């Protein structure tokens, strides 16, 4: 509300001499209708009467303030405003709205007041409840803070993306699928194409290759838009270097983009001699990884990188396999022990941890093999989480029947004997699970259960489980 509106509103009170002809009840009803809370003050600023227009304010104890100075009903921060409003009303200065806070029996109550002088020397303080306005302001503030936090997270994510994009050792281009023009190029791409920083942006992607290869590149990108199973394309750059182009379609901000990677032809797996085998391993749907005897990764295919959510093979080479596979200190060490002792493992259930912290149920098989650089281990890893979720949990039928048999013993055996039977049942189930988990390897099962091998043999004999263990250990 501007000052002109305030002065008009105040003048309407001073010029309405006809209100003096109204009875006191009509005046009270009029004041109560104008504001949510209206006080009538004497010449000294003491409360002589009040009218409450908003029923929600009846419980704040304002009637107990009758006879007290109006200034004492507000907090200390608003008392100067009350003094100013009373002085201005007495001098005939156009009134204006001022916000103060009442200290009530329920708590603080923000109210906006307009004080006008009455014809008999008294004052009327007309107030409007600001709780809803304050709540709205609080919601607006919270919404603004939430937007600022989201914007900050977005900026941080963009900064991390930029850092990873520029630090990647592999040349990468982001290409608009509709126009075939380069949107972004990392530092490695700029160096590989002998271009100045920023010079590749908005250039046709076909301009980076030899003129005779341009049609082949455009056709390759078109095939990538239609299918995800397009193999990399060997092509010659405009400077004469041979590269293999691998592209992937993705969407961002409702636009189709292509992620184009340029790998030097001589660095392609299997480029010398066994190219066919290298391509087969690289295109395997299951993850494949090769480690040394200390489980340090030597190489891996694209499916493994996708499974552990790594951007390039450089991030995997030199790291230990148990950084992603198995429960720390249990699964991978047991598998490695099996490989050292027997040369193979097959379909061992385990878990895989991605770089984002997620876990996936997997089956892992492995083999030990000699190589020119020393013995190595080869592993195939298959995600089976969805398949396992679709299967009924193992033992669902046997365990409830066993528990039911135990509860039927109540009344025929003592509690001590029933507890002993329960302990034996649980012990048997745990031993069976450990033997199944370790492919019936008693030494590994004893290690998993945390008991000695001799103790495990004794329990196997006691539970009659000797036939569950293979005799070729």
The domains of the chain are located at 30-135, 168-264, 278-383, 415-463
Q: How many CA atoms lie within 13 A of 447 on its CB side?
A: 15
In this chain, the answer to whether the domains covering 168-264 and 278-383 adopt an identical fold is yes
Query: Which among 326, 328, 318 is positioned nearest to 345, based on CA atoms?
Result: 326
CATH architecture classification, 30-135? 2-Layer Sandwich (3.30)
Give the other-Cβ count within 10 Å of 356's Cβ: 7
Helix/strand/coil for 265: helix
Q: What is the largest CA-CA distance in the chain?
A: 116
CA distances from 195 to 120, 152, 154, 168 (A): 89, 33, 30, 17
Residues facing residue 204 across a β-bridge: 181
**By mean pLDDT, which of 144-158, 270-284, 367-381 is the weakest?**
270-284
Q: Which residue has the tokens 């009467």?
A: 49
Residue 469 pLDDT class (50, 70, 90 cuts) = very low
Q: At the fourth CATH level, which superfamily is domain 168-264? A: PAS domain (3.30.450.20)
- 369-423: per-residue pLDDT in tens? 876 666 788 999 888 765 545 544 544 444 444 566 666 666 556 777 777 777 8
Q: Which two tokens stand for residue 201?
A: 């942006």
Is it the case that residue 76 has pLDDT exceeding 60? Answer: yes
Cβ(70)–Cβ(103) below 8 Å: no
Q: Which two tokens stand for residue 178?
A: 């509709």
CATH architecture classification, 415-463? Orthogonal Bundle (1.10)
Cβ(293)–Cβ(286) below 8 Å: no
CATH architecture classification, 278-383? 2-Layer Sandwich (3.30)
Cβ(41)–Cβ(51) below 8 Å: no
Distance from C-alpha of 50 to C-alpha of 319, rounded to nearest angstrom: 79
**Main-chain phi, psi angles of 444, to 5 degrees:** -65, -40
β 182-185/98-103 pair status: unpaired
- 183-220: per-residue pLDDT in tens? 999 988 888 888 888 889 999 998 999 888 889 899 99
């Amino acid at each position: 509300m501007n000052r002109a509106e305030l002065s008009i509103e105040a003048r309407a009170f001073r010029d309405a001499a006809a209100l003096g002809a109204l009875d006191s009840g009509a005046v009270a009803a009029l004041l109560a209708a104008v504001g949510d809370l209206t006080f009538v003050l004497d010449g000294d600023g003491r409360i002589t009467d009040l009218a409450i227009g908003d029923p929600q304010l009846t419980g704040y104890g304002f009637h107990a303030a009758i006879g007290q100075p109006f200034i004492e009903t507000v907090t200390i921060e608003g008392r100067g405003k009350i003094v100013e409003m009373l002085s201005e009303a007495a001098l005939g200065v156009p009134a204006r709205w001022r916000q103060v806070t009442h200290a009530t029996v329920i708590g603080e109550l923000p109210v906006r007041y307009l004080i006008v002088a009455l014809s008999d020397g008294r004052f009327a303080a007309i107030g409007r409840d600001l709780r809803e306005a304050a709540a709205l302001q609080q919601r607006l503030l919270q919404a603004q803070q939430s937007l600022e936090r989201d914007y900050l997270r977005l900026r941080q994510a963009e900064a991390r993306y930029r850092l990873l994009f520029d630090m990647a050792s592999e040349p990468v281009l982001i290409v608009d699928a509709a126009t075939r023009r380069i949107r972004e190029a990392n530092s490695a791409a700029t160096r590989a194409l002998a271009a100045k920083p920023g010079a590749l942006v908005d250039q046709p992607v076909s301009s980076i290759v030899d003129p005779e290869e341009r049609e082949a590149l455009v056709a390759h990108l078109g095939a990538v838009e239609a299918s995800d199973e397009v193999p990399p394309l060997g092509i010659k750059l405009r400077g004469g270097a041979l590269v293999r182009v691998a592209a992937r379609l993705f969407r961002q901000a409702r636009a189709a983009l292509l992620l184009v990677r340029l790998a030097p032809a001589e660095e392609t797996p299997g480029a010398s001699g066994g190219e066919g085998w290298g391509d087969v391993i690289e295109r395997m749907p299951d993850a494949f990884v090769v480690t040394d005897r200390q489980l340090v990764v030597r190489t891996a295919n694209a499916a493994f990188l996708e499974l552990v959510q790594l951007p390039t093979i450089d991030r995997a080479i030199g790291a230990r396999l148990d950084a992603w596979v198995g429960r720390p200190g249990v699964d991978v060490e047991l598998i490695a022990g099996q490989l050292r002792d027997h040369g193979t493992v097959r379909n061992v259930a385990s878990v895989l941890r991605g770089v984002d912290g997620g876990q996936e149920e997997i089956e892992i098989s492995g083999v030990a093999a000699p190589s020119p650089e020393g013995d190595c281990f080869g592993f195939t890893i298959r995600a089976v989480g969805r398949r396992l979720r679709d299967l009924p949990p193992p033992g669902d039928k046997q365990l409830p029947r066993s528990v039911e048999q135990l509860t039927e013993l109540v009344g025929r055996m003592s509690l001590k004997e029933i507890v002993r039977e329960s302990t034996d049942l649980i012990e048997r189930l745990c031993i069976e699970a450990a033997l199944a988990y370790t492919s019936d390897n008693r030494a590994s099962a004893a290690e998993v259960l945390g008991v000695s091998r001799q103790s495990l043999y004794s329990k196997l004999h006691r539970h009659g489980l000797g036939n569950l263990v293979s005799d070729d250990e």
